[in-house]
Chains A and B, each alone.
Chain A
Amino acid sequence: MADMKTAAYICKGCGIGERVDTARMAKVATKEGKMHLAREHDFLCSAAGVQTIQDDIDKEGVTHLVIAACSRRAKTEAFHFPGVALARANIREGVIWARPDTAEARETTQEMADDYLRMGCGEVKKMKLPGGNPDTGHAKRLLVVGGGISGLTAALEASKTGYQVVLVEKSAELGGWTAELYRRMPFREPYADPQHTGMAELIKEVASDANIKLITNAVIAKTDGAPGRFKVDISVESGPSLTEEVGAIIQATGFTTYDIARLPELGGGKSANVIDQAGLERLAKEAADKGQPIRRPSDGGEVKCVVFVQCAGQRDGSGRHLAYCSGFCCGASVKQAMYFKDANPAIDTVVIYDDLRLPGNGEDFYRSAQKKGVTFTKGKVASVEAKGDGCEVKFRDLILDEDAAIAAADLVVLATGQVPNSGVNIDIPEEEVAKMEVKPVSILNLAYRQGKDMPQLTHGFTDSHFICFPYETRRTGIYSAGPVRRPMDIAQAVEDATGATLKAIQAMENAELGRAAHPRSGDLSYPIVQLDGCTQCKRCTVECPFGAIDEDEKTYPVFNESRCRRCGTCMGACPVRVISFENYSCDTVGAQIKAVDMPDEFSEKPRILVLACENDAYPALDMAGMQKNCYSAFVRVIPVRCLGSVNTIWITDALNAGFDGIMMLGCKHGEDYQCHFVKGSELASVRMSKVDDTLKQLALEAERVISHEVAITDIARVPQLINDYAAKINEIGMSPLKGFA
């Protein structure tokens, strides 16, 4: 620490100078904050202000600095000083804008400003300059698993961007489901007729691309490593196994159709004339090859009437079938009805639907089908039974509200859904897997401590931050694209694959530079573990939302920095606090907590610690300030990387220091989570549910520690929550622990 030289800069601009006594703050910085140097400036973010700081760094050898000015989210370009540790005290958004400009408020506002400066001084002294992950990988090739429309698109896009690709396909042929189609839904003006799939041309293009290495009849036997240095063993059906080194992976393993044999009430598996959409594509292709019309499968008879049953085994509330909408099948039925109408307008085609879902230009396609005379009937099909040469379809007409039937349908097409091919569900415990009849087969065979495939969100689809960052899965550098991520049609899959490819390229490049990927893209800090203190409790390895931590033979955690997203969840989980980042640790936050000046029990000035997620809650607070939504002067806010990074030691420290209440503001968790780190806020809430015991031990009320789910848009709500909580603390009284620290 000998060469640490600290300095504090207090800005008087943006009205700060008029609202608080900056000279007093400068004294706080040197006397209490023990800064070597403290300067006030009229306009710190101006060129002159920035130059003052730079001069001190260059001439005075300042290594650690605190800027008491605007929020850490503002003026990041002006206050960018590479090579020094920097803490920001939020005096503008967090103090003067969040407080009324009145004579009575002046004293508490000043106290707030002083405290934030003390906290900044405490923090910066515990900070080190992040050096960047030393364990970088240099592989820049992309592995694409799956040779359907998504995989082929991904391969081609990567190649066009100048990257090498290895494409592994399980079957002998490329093309996936798209290759099985007679025609696809239109994707160009005027969206009126089915179009050629273009798959033959796409396959040719991929096959002749020098950047793309194709391996068919092959599966992934093992995936080890991290972004930038994945080692993938590929086992080829007849031939020697291969090992490829790649920088990132795209899983585009597509879907399987829902088995119609599971829909006997709709005639599935019972009549040859009841088929699924894939079955009709096959018939249409065969018929086209022979130059004949589509015939009745049972006896080759003429088709005069075709009924399409939408949502077959989908959007099912009973729990027996798929609960979700696959999204593509309404369009597919419209397209297939046109196969008949275009060939012979006299053929009756009836689509029985509950809701017709044709997003985007699908609406034009729908209209085109109506013009061609396809009949659309809103209804719910009750049964399909073989009758005469064909089938009888009984249904409830939902507009006319009556039971109806189509007595002689020659062909009934069930619109079944997409079941994702996502490998094993790593959340199912091994005992249960052992009981399963059909054992799930892994796709990636990851050699990760947490399991062989990517975590799933729901219904077997891979988890990929649905709400904010749709491509980001929970395995850094591995992206899922196409219907394995969510149900989709061809056009969406093409777009999805393109997006995933660009993200994968970004991940490889970041890995090489030793920087974090999304959402702390570019961050050079990474978790450092002091193994000599580790008790092998495994909490970090289990809780890491991204499976970044493996285990060695002695069950010590092994961190894979390139897989890490720098959320700090492991740091929050560690009971012996041996995990830290250079610039964010139990100490940097602990120092801030301890730096707050604690008024005594009789002062009528309670202190409330707010631990706010820096991604949503903290910006919401900043914006509340910008809109002058004032809140209590008794709070002291500390931004955290994620609520998942909150270590219970901070709670204990704060209570012991005499804080009267602790508020934790994090993101929504659950199936529709908004947490940037997916599981962080959820894990935090589990951990905090155990804080009650600590409170009991200290003989404190349960309300002394509370948490809320907030969104970045809660600009009015967050100040309200704070004020309500301040009132609550007022009610239960000051903490009895004051003055003992």
Chain B
Amino acid sequence: MGDLNQQMLDKYRNNFLREVEEKVDDGGWVKMCMQCGVCAGSCTFGPDWEHTPQKIFMMIRAGKREEVLGSHSMWLCTSCYNCMVRCPRELPITHIMHGLASYAHRLGLAPKNQPTRDFSLIFWENCTKTGRVNELRMTISVYFREGFMSGVKKMWTLRNIGRGLFFAKRLNPLELFVSHGCKDKDGLRRALKKADEIEARRRGYAVQPRGYSS
């Protein structure tokens, strides 16, 4: 932060824009935004998040690398596609938002303990193991994400719902011990690995396993 001059120089040399174009899914579209603000006005999250898509795109052009990649905004996107259907420049905004989130995550710059980010990871790990989601295990992982006591508290608050689900046959306690899975688990794993390889090749990464990289 010391050399303000150096910082400004970086900021308006477009490097980050180029980085986004090359590394982020649909990042090449960012330069086409005309800053009309329709997305910002359409977003279901509108006033509640720190950076609207419009601002994110402007920040990219202004070279605000840490701020963009460390932003909570991309993680909050609900994929409602309101912005995307309205953008007069037809930017695939929703996809860019997710592309940025994924890129930030890959670089380890995404915000720590971000609930949707945590949820996504738990979900991914859970379902890629057997090819099916084990809802009980996933719920428990999510509840206990912030420690044992807070997990117990959450379970206590929601105990009636749990009971209801059990009686409605929507929750099988045995799943805690035996997960059922898809037929060809190995096949699934191979497919995922291949996908990783393809993506890495396209974007020029060294292949690395998914998960927290920080």
Contact = CB atoms under 8 A, between A and B. Distances in A.
B55 A348 contact: no
Interface string B64-99: 100000000000000000000000010000000000
Interface stretch (A290-298, A368-376, A634-642): A368-376
Contacts of A116: none
Nearest to B30: A370
Given A348-B14, A400-B55, A370 B35 contact: no
A278 B157 CA distance: 72
A4 interface: no
B174 interface: no
Most buried by A among B13, B17, B89: B13
A397 interface: yes
Given A375-B14, A404-B11, A370 B59 contact: no
A190 to B, nearest CB: 16
Most buried by B among A367, A375, A399, A404: A399
Contacts of A356: 34
Contact of A399 (B11, B35, B89): B35
Nearest to A394: B8
B8 A407 contact: yes
B88 to A, nearest CB: 10
B9 A366 contact: no
A400 B50 CA distance: 12
Nearest to A409: B12
Given A400-B62, A407-B5, A376 B14 contact: no
A348 B59 contact: no
B148 to A, nearest CB: 42
Interface residues of A, number: 21
A348 B32 contact: no
Contacts of B59: 400
B117 interface: no
A406 interface: yes
A404 B11 CA distance: 9
Contact of A404 (B14, B31, B32, B62): B62
A571 B171 CA distance: 97
B105 interface: no
Contacts of A348: 12-14
Interface residues of B, number: 20
Q: Is the interface of B mostly helix, strand, loop or mixed?
A: helix
Contacts of B89: 367
A376 B62 contact: no
B34 A376 contact: yes
Given A370-B31, A400-B58, A406 B14 contact: no
A377 interface: yes
Most buried by B among A371, A407, A408: A407
A356 B36 CA distance: 11
Contact of A406 (B8, B31, B34): B8
B14 A371 contact: no
Contacts of B64: 400
Most buried by A among B5, B35, B54, B59: B35
A350 interface: yes
A366 B55 CA distance: 20
Interface in A490-520: none
Contacts of A373: 14, 31
B165 to A, nearest CB: 47
A331 B12 CA distance: 23
Nearest to A375: B61
Nearest to A405: B8
B15 to A, nearest CB: 10
Most buried by A among B12, B13, B34, B58: B12
A404 B35 CA distance: 18
A378 interface: yes
Given A348-B12, A348-B13, A399-B55, A366 B62 contact: no
Contacts of B8: 404-407
Interface of A: 305, 348, 350, 356, 366-367, 370-371, 373, 375-378, 397, 399-400, 404-408
Interface of B: 5, 8-9, 11-14, 17, 31-32, 34-35, 54-55, 58-59, 61-62, 64, 89
The 3 nearest A-B residue pairs measured at CB: A399-B58, A406-B12, A370-B32
14 contacts: A305-B12, A348-B14, A356-B34, A366-B34, A370-B31, A370-B32, A371-B32, A375-B14, A377-B62, A378-B35, A378-B58, A400-B64, A404-B12, A407-B8
Given A375-B31, A399-B58, 15 more contacts: A348-B13, A350-B12, A370-B34, A371-B32, A373-B31, A375-B61, A376-B34, A377-B61, A397-B58, A399-B55, A400-B55, A400-B58, A404-B11, A406-B12, A407-B9
